[in-house]
Amino acid sequence: MNDSSDDRVAFDDDVSVALARLAAGPEPPPDVKTRLMARILAEAAVPAAPAGFTFRFAADDDWVPHAVPGIRMKVLSVNPRSGYTTLLLDVKPGTHFPAHHHHGDEECYVISGSVRTLGRRLGPGDFLHADAGTDHTELWTDEGARVLLVVPPDDDSPGAPAA
Asked if 61 and 73 touch (Cβ cutoff 8 Å), the reply is no
CATH homologous superfamily for 64-151?
Jelly Rolls (2.60.120.10)
88: left (phi over 0), alpha (psi -120 to 50) or beta: beta
For residues 117-131, average pLDDT: 97
Predicted local confidence at residue 30, as pLDDT: 80
Of the chain, the percentage scoring pLDDT greater than 70 comes to: 81
Amino acid at site 65: P
Cα separations (Å) of 154 from 56, 85, 117? 22, 9, 21
For residues 1-12, average pLDDT: 56
For residues 3-30, average pLDDT: 66
Going by pLDDT thresholds of 50, 70 and 90, the confidence category of residue 98 is very high
Angle at 114 between CA 112 and CA 118, to 5 degrees: 140
For residues 127-150, average pLDDT: 96
Asked if 146 and 112 touch (Cβ cutoff 8 Å), the reply is yes
Amino acid at site 114: S
Cα separations (Å) of 88 from 6, 93, 125, 145? 61, 16, 14, 10
Predicted local confidence at residue 14, as pLDDT: 73
Q: What does 39-74 look like in DSSP terms, one character per residue?
A: HHHHHHHSPPPPTT-----TT----EE-SSTTEEEE
Predicted local confidence at residue 60, as pLDDT: 87
For residues 79-106, average pLDDT: 93
User: For the chain, which residues make up each domain, given as ranges?
Assistant: 5-45, 64-151
45-87 residue pLDDT tens: 778 888 888 888 888 889 999 999 999 999 999 998 888 999 9
- The strand order across the sheet containing 64-65 reads 64-65, 71-79, 84-91, 145-151, 106-113, 127-130
Asked if 86 and 150 touch (Cβ cutoff 8 Å), the reply is yes
